Chains A and B, each alone.
Chain A
Amino acid sequence: MLSYPHLADTQLMPPAPASPEQTALVQSLFVQHLPALRGFVLSLVSDFSLVDDIVQETFLVITAKAGTFQRGTNFRAWAWTIARYKVLQTLEKHAPVPDRLAPEVLEALASQGEAETWYSEEQIQHLAKCMEGLAPKAREAVELRYQQAHRPPEIASRLGWTVESVHVALSRARVFLRDCVTQRMLAANP
């Protein structure tokens, strides 16, 4: 199990007092980066239901440590380190299940650094259009998964499919949506 001595130590230290302006700055940066942070956390835990709690706890730590953030330095790197720590802490509390990756794998992934840009508003708009191109049944599976946060076995029982066919439908839908959004982006910004 990996440990984070530097983080653990700073957690024990009394948080440096932050001015209200400093706290407001850090919190507004947090909100700016929230969609990307949610994406980052979701990727590491794969379980939609854990994301909110981890993001909330990250927010609390960031607020408490606002005084240690230096204006002009990389907020994202700072916040991501805290989120990463919260991910590991949360997964440690839960019993291991096959669909979760071990801490050392998560470390390797996080240190590789994910793409700097997660998604833009423009992409989401294209995505909404592309959804209309999905077959009705595939769209239903995508909605159950991505809107209602059901897991494939539950989607299977609701749609009367097998888990495997739900997974295949979701995989195909993701490929279709990726290609569709990419094409629309290219057409819009040649």
Chain B
Amino acid sequence: MSDERTQLLLQRYFDQVLTAEERSELSTMLLASSRARTDFWELARWNALIRQWGEAEWGRHDAENLTLRPLPAVPGPQKKVQKIIPFPRPSWKVGVATMAAAAVIALFVSVPSLLPWKHKVQPVSVAVLTHSADAVWADSNESRQRGESLTPGWLHLKSGAVQIEFSRGARVVLEGPAEFQLLTDNSAFLGSGKLRAQVPDPAHGFTVKTSAFAVVDYGTEFGCSLPISGAPQIHVFNGLVGLQGAQPTERKLRQNQAVEIVKDQVHDIPARRDQFLSDEELAKRERASVLGRLAAWHAASQALSEHPAALVHLDFEGDRGWSRNIPNRAWRAVPGSPASMVGCQFNDGRWPGKGAIEFTRPEDRLRLNLPGGYESMTLLAWLRVDTLPDRPQSLVMADGMGTGDVQWYISRWGELGFGVHIGKNGDPTGWRYHHSEPLFTPETLGSWVCVASVYDSASDTVTHYFNGQAIGADKLGVRALLQLETFEIGNWALRDGEQWRAGIVPRSTSDSARNLQGRIDEVAVLSAPLSAEEIRQFYEIGKIDQPAPTSLVKNLR
């Protein structure tokens, strides 16, 4: 054993809690004494051994999570395979080609715990769902929303219509009922249903396969219909299309040509544009469906503003002109105290035409003032997260570090976090937090989701909700009134050199950004703990695609 001081400093080094003074003291020891260096490697070995065990365990948890994690009913991506990504990093840089060395890949695969980049595997999206008009999906757990990234796999559209933009540029309008499988960024399989494809130059070779034939596009616009009973048809509206598999050789179809395939025989028929939904027609239908949706939401939204406990309710509707103030519509709003926009800009929300605030730059934020202390609190928001930077992102954050201050945010790992300061004023270790399971993953990026956190003083419990469902609760040990005082939405008033005070650990001295990268189109703060049923109703009336039942609107009133 060397002297205790060396041991102590080495222990602090391996826990990454050295101060600058301690570091220079340790450095002097390590430079001067070979004994100290031996001690360093001795402790390093144990540190690395435990980490090796930890990584193996974590890998095992990860593998179990892949199969055992319950699948919450949320619109879109949540039910897909989720991976916890503790350290999302930039993708592979140079020399990726060398990785093709199959031998070494096989080695890594056979010894997964050795795989140094095992957390990097992410499904690759091949298309985006760009428009949706009254789309009803076969399984409500599989419903997709506008703007959602699509990975290879099946889409079961019961009714309605959607537009899908493939990454290579092909654009498809799919009419329900349809069974459609995305294969790659430039090909798909049509099980049944009707589609119209527009294929710009860069997407040449866009292919729609079916069980009987394949349609290869050479830069054009065509329609393909595959009824459940009846003869498949291919109509070419522009350009050139190759029909493969239906005849011994490829058949070329030109503008205004169409064929029908009956019992393996290809017959010419007249080309009919009007049989296939166009982009314009889809857009028209979408507008009509959105207007109805928006009207239903408006009525319900007013009910939330009038809730007896509503302190803050911003819906970003109304004037989008020069004013940089957002009115607070809550019944108990502080008069003449709107939210001030700093940096951020208006953009579209859940529906085209619905207002939202977009946060992109580090300085973007909304600043508000809410005096007073509250025994309980409910925080609600509809938001869309656009990136997952390797750092926390703020939702609603009190400026200070005083007793009772509240922080609501998305953690570095995509968890929903709610924290209350329960220590003495200014004590940096006074925060108590509860984090949910990871909710925001690369797959949820760009999707609108509803999050809520409810602190109930009667049980001293915070409960997190995601898309109307409770997803975890914990006691916090709060003995003070909760407060926001001056606070920010989408950012956090953090001064340089004060990163440590959040209890959210900085990675480096330059790690001070906490801004949200995404949009918020509704946010509310209430001084009462809303029930699980009330949260579910808030979600139901705000859901993107399904029309809101009027009974829910009435109930909320």
Contact = CB atoms under 8 A, between A and B. Distances in A.
Interface of A: 20, 23-24, 27-28, 30-31, 34-35, 38-40, 42-43, 46-49, 51-53, 55-56, 59-60, 63-64, 94-102, 104-105, 108-109, 112, 114-115, 118-119, 123-124, 127-128, 131, 142-143, 145-154, 156-158, 160, 162-163, 166-167, 170-171, 174, 177-178, 181
Nearest to A53: B89
Contacts of A119: 45, 48-49, 52
B52 A28 contact: no
A107 to B, nearest CB: 9
B95 A60 contact: yes
A47 B16 contact: yes
B347 to A, nearest CB: 33
Interface string B17-61: 111101100110011001001101111111111111111111001
Nearest to B477: A160
B267 to A, nearest CB: 54
Contacts of B432: 157, 160
Q: What is the interface of chain A mostly: helix, strand, loop, or mixed?
A: helix
B11 interface: yes
Interface of B: 11-20, 22-23, 26-27, 30-31, 34, 37-38, 40-58, 61, 86-87, 89, 92, 94-95, 98, 101, 103-104, 107-108, 111, 114, 116-117, 119, 419, 429, 431-433, 435, 477, 500, 503-505, 507-510
B16 A151 contact: yes
Contacts of B114: 31, 34-35
5 contacts: A101-B13, A102-B27, A152-B17, A153-B505, A160-B477
A48 B98 CA distance: 26
A99 B108 contact: no
Give the one of B46, B111, B477 with max A CB within 10 A: B46
A171 B11 contact: yes
Given A28-B104, A160-B477, A154 B505 contact: yes
Contact of B89 (A39, A52, A127): A52
Contacts of B58: 147-148
B12 A167 contact: yes
Contacts of B40: 43, 109
A41 B94 CA distance: 21
A163 B104 contact: no
A98 B55 contact: no
Given A28-B104, A171-B11, 20 more contacts: A38-B48, A38-B52, A38-B116, A42-B47, A52-B119, A60-B95, A94-B508, A98-B22, A99-B13, A99-B16, A118-B48, A118-B49, A124-B52, A124-B53, A146-B50, A149-B86, A157-B432, A170-B15, A174-B46, A177-B50
A167 B508 contact: no
Given A118-B48, A124-B52, A174-B47, A147 B107 contact: no
A71 B374 CA distance: 72
A43 B47 contact: yes
A150 B119 CA distance: 16
A124 B56 contact: yes
Contacts of A94: 508
Contact of A143 (B38, B47, B54, B89): B54
Contacts of A149: 54, 86-87
Contacts of A178: 46
- 9 residue pairs, one from A and one from B, having the closest CB atoms: A146-B54, A39-B48, A43-B44, A157-B503, A27-B104, A147-B54, A99-B16, A114-B41, A154-B505
